[in-house]
Structure 1
Amino acid sequence: MTTSTACAFDKMASAAKQAGVKITVTSGFRTVARQEYFWNCYQTKACNNGNLAARPGTSKHGRDVVLDLNTDCGSQSGVHQWLKNNGHKYGFKHTVKSEPWYWEFGGVGVRRASFS
């Protein structure tokens, strides 16, 4: 991931830890080949739970600005709630409604997504 993304995540994870919430990265940078795997899973529904995936070459995971975080795939988890309330303070926003784990770094001061 970019230095800016990594530094912002480190600050956010430290603040969450102070609040008793442990945030971890479950996926970050992806090569085009890895994105092809996820795209195939999405197209065939044969792997990765058929989760939504961007076409290879278009994923923001390939640009080092997206982190998949340990939200337990549920919007009511403590991690997800903390992120909804605080992620924007560290430049992260939830941009894919159907994927509670998908958090995009856009820089400090970005607004929360309207559906969060």
Structure 2
Amino acid sequence: MSTALTCTWTSPQAGTAQVVIEGELEYTTAAQLPRLVGDRLADAPGVEDVRLDCDGLEFCDSSGLSALLRVHALVTDAGRRLHLDNRRPALDRLLALTGTFTYLTGEAPASRARADS
């Protein structure tokens, strides 16, 4: 298993930041994501929405989940909204199993299942 992680912050439109996550969010890489988001939020007062693009997220363990929870805290404590976009089924299962699905996504697990069918 590779332990590479790339997180890229862009501002595709006014008021929105997008963080593209590629690779594995796990014990050895988990600190990267909250550090990037915290640093960039401090320099982006006009950003209202932070969108994590999870399409390239290949693996997420409990340390990765902890990183997502830290990012959620950083974003919401700054008065902004967090969105987890393009989630893969494995990430949705992890969030559902840990009881963090609704907290991190703002969606009910059942509504997501209906939307995917």
Same fold (TM over 0.5): no
Which structure has greater strand proportion? Answer: 2
TM-score, normalization: structure 1?
0.29
TM-score, normalization: structure 2?
0.29
